[in-house]
């Protein structure tokens, strides 16, 4: 089975053509292919599928086998995959996800995608973590995110605090992704993310980047467009209208390699 490895600002994915619908158990395949030691290694598995509502459909599976509703960097990488494989000559595409239909724009190696907020943000919530009260700002940008403002992002103990917030009773039963942000200017911020389903810090998160920019805007900390520096060292740009009806995420994608998945193949 042929696969492509694509990276969106440090968020890496295994991408497969499933237009024929032959892949039935994406969750099981994600556990195998995303494994860092015994598989290809990735933050998620993306399946390109047919859609009767849009140009294409994206399904995303986390390394633990769970299926996510949406992934901003994943959507950007899937769009790059469509371009690389010449599945469409369009520069503007519509892609169906479990969180709705999104527009994507191919700008060479850079991909722009429309994003949205689901429901109403829940700001300034107090929760107790490790015996200390913590202020979190909850927002759903296709998947749930808890955003936490900090003074020094390098000092955050992501591996320790991440699971405590991610599984906190306040966010159950679905749980949440967790983002720490440091405001560095009126149009700039830094971010680190603990991702649900990956259960670890990732070098970038598209929905988290959007969540961070929107929360910072709602707290009167930044104005659009917002340049967000990921843990990877790469920047993603978030632009949006003042009423938040139009939101766009844009950044680089890279294509490090492709290959053939042999596990399970008859010898």
Q: Which two tokens stand for residue 21?
A: 């619908």
Q: Of residues 205, 211, 216, 249, which has the active-site annotation?
A: 205
User: Does residue 71 have an active-site annotation?
Assistant: yes
Q: Of residues 71, 143, 149, 247, which has the active-site annotation?
A: 71
For every residue of the chain, which 3-state class applies, written as one string? CEEEEEEECCEEEEEEECCCCCCCCHHHHHHHHCCCCCCCCCCEEEEEECCCCCCEEEEEECCCCCEECCCHHHHHHHHHHHHHCCCCCCCEEEEEECCEEEEEEEECCEEEEEECCCCCCEEEEEEEECCEEEEEEEEECCCEEEEEECCCHHHCCHHHHHHHHHCCHHHCCCCCEEEEEEEEECCEEEEEEEECCCCEEECCCHHHHHHHHHHHHHCCCCCCCEEEECCCCCEEEEEECCCCCCEEEEEECEEEEEEECCCCCCC
Cα 9 from Cα 235, distance rounded (Å): 7
Q: Would you say 201 and 154 are in contact if contact means Cβ atoms under 8 Å apart?
A: no
User: Does residue 34 have an active-site annotation?
Assistant: no
Widest distance between CA atoms in the chain? 61
Cα 60 from Cα 232, distance rounded (Å): 21
Cα 73 from Cα 80, distance rounded (Å): 11
- Enumerate the active-site residues: 71, 205
């Amino acid at each position: 089975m042929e696969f492509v490895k694509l990276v969106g600002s440090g968020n890496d994915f295994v991408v497969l053509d499933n237009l024929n619908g032959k892949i039935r158990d994406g969750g099981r395949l994600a556990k195998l292919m995303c494994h860092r030691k015994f598989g290809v290694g990735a933050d998620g598995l993306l399946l390109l599928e047919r859609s009767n509502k849009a140009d294409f459909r994206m399904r995303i599976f986390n390394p633990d086998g769970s299926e996510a509703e949406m992934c901003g960097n994943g959507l950007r990488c899937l769009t790059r995959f469509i371009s690389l494989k010449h599945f469409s000559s369009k520069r503007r595409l519509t892609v169906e996800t479990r969180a709705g239909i999104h527009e994507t724009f191919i700008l060479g190696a850079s991909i722009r995608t429309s994003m949205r907020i689901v429901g109403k943000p829940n700001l300034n919530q107090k929760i107790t973590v490790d015996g200390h009260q913590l202020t979190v700002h909850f927002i759903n940008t296709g998947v749930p995110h808890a955003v936490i403002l900090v003074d020094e992002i390098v000092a955050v103990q992501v591996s320790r605090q991440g699971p405590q917030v991610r599984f906190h009773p306040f966010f159950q039963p679905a749980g949440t992704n967790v983002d720490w942000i440091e405001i560095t200017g009126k149009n700039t911020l830094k971010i680190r993310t603990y991702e649900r389903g990956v259960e670890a810090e990732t070098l970038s998160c598209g929905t988290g980047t959007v969540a961070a920019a929107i929360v910072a805007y709602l707290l009167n900390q930044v104005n659009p467009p917002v340049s967000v520096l990921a843990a990877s060292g790469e920047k993603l740009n978030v632009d949006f209208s003042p009423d938040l009806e139009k939101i766009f995420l844009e950044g680089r994608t890279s294509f490090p390699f492709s290959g053939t998945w042999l596990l399970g193949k008859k010898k």
